Each structure stands twice: as C-alpha cells, then as structure tokens.
Amino acid sequence: MCGIIGIVGQGPVNQSLYDGLTVLQHRGQDAAGIVTYHDGRLYLRKGNGLVRDVFRARHMQELVGNIGIGHVRYPTAGSSSSAEAQPFYVNSPFGITLGHNGNLINTEALKRELFLQDRRHINTESDSEVLLNIFAQELLHQQPLHLEPEHVFNAVGAVHRRCRGAYGVVAMINGHGIVAFRDPYGIRPVVYGMRETAAGLEYMVASESVALDALGFKLIRDLAPGEAIYIDLSGHLHTRQCAEAPQYSPCIFEYVYFARPDSIIDDVFVHKARMRMGDYLGRKIMREWPDHDIDVVIPIPETSRTSALELAMRLGVKYREGFIKNRYIARTFIMPGQTERKKSVRQKLNPIGLEFQGKNVLLVDDSIVRGTTSREIVMMARDAGARRVYFASASPPVRYPNVYGIDMPAAHELIAHGRTEQEVCEAICADRLIYQDLPDLVRAVQKGNPKLARFDTAVFDGDYVTGVSPDYLAALEQRRAEGKIAVRVPRQAHIDLHNTV
C-alpha cells in the first residue's frame, strides 16, 4: 500500500508536498520521494525511510517549483531496496515522473511487450516502473507537437486497455502539468480538491481526503473508476472518463484498516463505517452469545478503537484502554519479514495490568491476518492477569491472498487459510473468537454510500474483481519468498538525483 500526492500551485509546493506526505505516512513507511518542476527542469529527492528522514532542509531548498508530486511506499513483495523508491522517471516523451499506489497483475506480460514492441528497458522489479513506461509509450503514440488534454486522456485510455490490476496514479509531465487517474474498478482511492490563494486557484490530488484537509484544500470529489484528471501549468483543470466499462469496486480493506478514520473515500466517512462495523459485531455477539460473561472490551490500538467502542456500547459493557502503544515502533503489518514482525509486538504494546487482572476480556482488532500479532497480544493479556481472553475481529477471516497492493500475497501465511474459525481461535490461544460476517461488513460500508453496489472483498471470499489465475498466485507467492532475502540486506544510501534528472 502506498500514498500519492500532486499539487499545481501558485507558489513553491515543496513544503506542501512534504506536509501532505507526512499525513499519508500511514500508507507506507519504507520509502518516500518528491519531484518538482521549475523552468524546464525536474528536481527529485527520494530514498528509504520515513518522510522526516528522507528530506532534510538542504533537500527541501533544492526542490524548487510551483508544481510537483510525491509518494510514500511500502513493499508488497518483501523488497525494501531504495532503487524502487518513487516517483520513477522516464525521459521520453517530454520527461515524465510517476507515483503509483496498487499492483498490476499482468506485469510480466507488459514487460515483454515493452521490450519486444516498444524497445523500452525496465530497470527494477517494480510494476510502477512498468506502468510509467506503458503510459509514456502510449503518450508517445499520440505524436503530439503540442500536448493537449485529449492526448493525455487517450494515453490513459490505452493504459486501461493494457494494464490489469489496481492503480491510483499521479504523474507529472515535464513542462505541461499533472495527470492523475484511477483503475477501471476504482480499487485504490484518488481524490482531488482546490484552495483559493491571493495569487489564484491551486489544485491537489491525493490518496486520501485527509491530506487535502491538512493543507487547507477543499475536497471536490473522488475520481470515478477509470477517470483521469489533468491540470496544466496554467491551472486549468480537465477531467474525462477514460475506461470503456468502469465498475465501482473499491477495496473494502481501505475502510477496515488502511485509511485514516478522518478520511472520506468514495463519499463514505471511514470513521462512521468503522462505527457501524463495531455495532454489527456487537449485534452478532448478542445474537449468538446472549449469555456472554464479558467484563470489559479493550481495543488493540490504533485502528480498532472506533469499532471497539461501538461494540462495547451495543453490549452494554465497559470500554477500557488496556494497551499503551510505543509510537516509535513501525507497524507490524507493514514490517517486512515474520521474525521482525513477531519481535516488535511486545516492543510496540504494553498492557495496563489493572485493566486485565481477574477479568474476562474481549480484545477487539480490525482484522486477523497472519495471526502473529493476535497470538502475542492474547498471551500478553493472560500474562497481565486476565481470567479469560476473548477475541473479536471487525472483519471476516482473511483466507485469500491480496493481489492489489496489500502485503498479504502468500496464502500459507494467512492464519485463516485452510482453517476453521475454531482452529484459528486455538491457534491464537483465545478462549473464544468472533469474526464479523462479510454481509455485515459490506453493509457497514455501503450504508455510507448506497451507490457502491460492489466491493473488492477478495481477501475474504476469493472473488477477485479483475480475475486472477492460479498460476499468477503461485508466481506471486514465489516472488515473495525470493524477496524475503532482500529484507536482510542493509538499506542502501538515499537516492538524491535533483541535479541529474
């Protein structure tokens, strides 16, 4: 999962891009990058690490210009090489930089096409570089003497025809403007907004509305599936539907876990969706376990708090904060490698003993993916003196790999894959396990926007909206296994190319 941002401003945008990326930091902690345009040149800075680590004062001073894009990344195949930090750059046509959130599922076929038909070289294992070269080649096919919006939109339409998978994209065309587009299923989110300044209107695109809020931009709307937006250097905004048969199927896991609760995605308030998840889960407990003996509901920080509070209210039992989080430890879900993930759980969370001693505790989390964190937390609750430890998940069992940009591609790593709910309960050492029902999860999100008739729920039911072959899943699992070697290699130095692009 990654975060993208782009701004066409009336003054320097370097600080706004930086601030926007810090707001989107939850979407990726592995690498960050910013590229700006000024007077015919691109200025790029990217590297491994958090936004605050990649950009120092000297780097910010060199990122000159009133237009730019940015990206935060985490790897989906185990690789943390700084060579794959984004935005990527290609010099023809015009000079294009691009940042991508999502994952293509026909990358290998596209690589062959680019080499055999287009004579383009791909230098990394990133599908984002492939997507950039596809877009660049299709723009080149337009053979524009003077770039017009229709050329950009025609190129995006060709990308939709060639690329399969999930993609929220922001790109900057040297000397012309910024283009952003969303895959024909709308799996990954893209929003745009505007703000008025004394010098004129400024426009911004981003993965989540919260980035716009933080910078004082007014949210206009989400891009529709398959839609593209093009903002030229003069600040003129153009939009067009570029897909032939778009279908709204956003990733439901954005609402469960990834998006910040203060974001609005496809007209759904994430915070309220999570409230409804907790309410529906509470209703299920009352229906299936009316004589429960739960003394207290305790959330597992951070994303489950909203659901846990509503669940406690539905049950009529106490809600308490039982874990203190060390905010300086990276997310275990994002952290590459199972050993690092397991080790960090007890470093990240510390129980408040008095909230557990002698009580029957219901722990609430947004999901159970690998089960490593869940098991460790259950054991922490027992060590803190809990009499019984129950566990509730605000989402259904995660049984299938994700192929659209979330780091859960290997089925055998998912604790619920091939196991019954009771077997998962025993595996995480809980006394009872309650999962959200998939229809209730869909209702919890859909209630915010009834026009969303379908979601990508593949991690729960194996129904991939783009269609995925077993051979692709096997190849992805192998790639992940090979990528694990890379995470043990020391991180490379930051890439600083602001004078070489």
Q: Is 267 annotated as a binding residue?
A: no
Q: Is pLDDT larger for residue 481 or for residue 349?
A: 349
In whole angstroms, give the CA distance from residue 168 to residue 226. Answer: 10
Query: What's the rounded mean pLDDT across residues 46-56?
Result: 96
Predicted pLDDT at 334 = 47
**Residue 249 contacts by C-beta under 8 Å, 6 or more apart in sequence?**
185, 186, 187, 225, 454, 455, 456, 465
Query: What's the rounded mean pLDDT across residues 306-322?
Result: 98
Confidence of residue 343 (pLDDT cuts 50, 70, 90): low
Residue 491 has pLDDT above 60, yes or no: no
Burial per residue of 392-425, b for 16 or more beta-carbon CB atoms within 10 angstroms, e otherwise:
bbbbbbbbbbbbbbbbbbbbebbbbbebeeeebb
Helices 305-315 and 270-288: angle between axes, nearest 10 degrees: 40
Residue 492 has pLDDT above 50, yes or no: no
Confidence of residue 464 (pLDDT cuts 50, 70, 90): very high
Residue 22 has pLDDT above 90, yes or no: yes
**Residue 248 contacts by C-beta under 8 Å, 6 or more apart in sequence?**
185, 186, 224, 225, 266, 451, 452, 453, 454
Q: Is 484 helix (H, G, I), strand (E, B) or coil?
A: coil
Lowest mean pLDDT among 118-122, 330-334, 366-370, 393-397: 330-334
Task: Give domain limits for the chain.
Answer: 3-247, 268-325+345-484
**Which one of 2, 163, 242, 251 is the catalytic residue?**
2
Question: Which of the 8 DSSP states describes residue 228?
Answer: E
Predicted pLDDT at 450 = 96
Both structure tokens of 382: 């027992």
Q: Is 425 a residue of the active site?
A: no
Predicted pLDDT at 469 = 87
The CATH homologous superfamily of the domain defined by 3-247: Aminohydrolase, N-terminal nucleophile (Ntn) domain (3.60.20.10)
Lowest mean pLDDT among 54-63, 65-74, 478-487: 478-487
- Answer whether 290's CB lies under 8 Å from 282's CB: no
Residue 14 has phi, psi (to 5 degrees) of -60, -45
In whole angstroms, give the CA distance from residue 266 to residue 410. Answer: 29
Residue 486 has pLDDT above 50, yes or no: no
Confidence of residue 437 (pLDDT cuts 50, 70, 90): very high
Residue 333 has pLDDT above 90, yes or no: no
Predicted pLDDT at 392 = 98
Query: What's the rounded mean pLDDT across residues 183-195?
Result: 98
Predicted pLDDT at 327 = 75
Predicted pLDDT at 472 = 87
Residue 332 has pLDDT above 80, yes or no: no
Residue 331 has pLDDT above 80, yes or no: no
Confidence of residue 345 (pLDDT cuts 50, 70, 90): confident
Residue 242 has pLDDT above 70, yes or no: yes
Share of the chain above pLDDT 70, in %: 91
Chain segment 208-227, per-residue pLDDT in tens: 999 999 999 999 999 999 99
Q: What is the residue-wise DSSP string for 370-383?
A: SSHHHHHHHHHHHH
Confidence of residue 330 (pLDDT cuts 50, 70, 90): low
Q: Is pLDDT larger for residue 286 or for residue 146?
A: 286
| Mean pLDDT (the chain, rounded) | 91
Q: Is 232 annotated as a binding residue?
A: no
Confidence of residue 497 (pLDDT cuts 50, 70, 90): very low
363 membership: H or E segment, kind and range = strand 360-365
Both structure tokens of 198: 């004394």
Query: What's the rounded mean pLDDT across residues 276-300?
Result: 98
Q: Is 366 annotated as a binding residue?
A: yes
Predicted pLDDT at 143 = 83
Lowest mean pLDDT among 23-37, 113-127, 181-195, 390-404: 113-127
Q: Does domain 268-325+345-484 have CATH number 3.10.20.70?
A: no
Predicted pLDDT at 172 = 98
How many C-alpha atoms does 271 have within 13 Å on its Cβ side?
5
In whole angstroms, give the CA distance from residue 68 to residue 87. Answer: 11
Query: What's the rounded mean pLDDT across residues 406-412?
Result: 82
The H-assigned helical ranges of 260-304 are 270-288
Residue 360 has pLDDT above 80, yes or no: yes
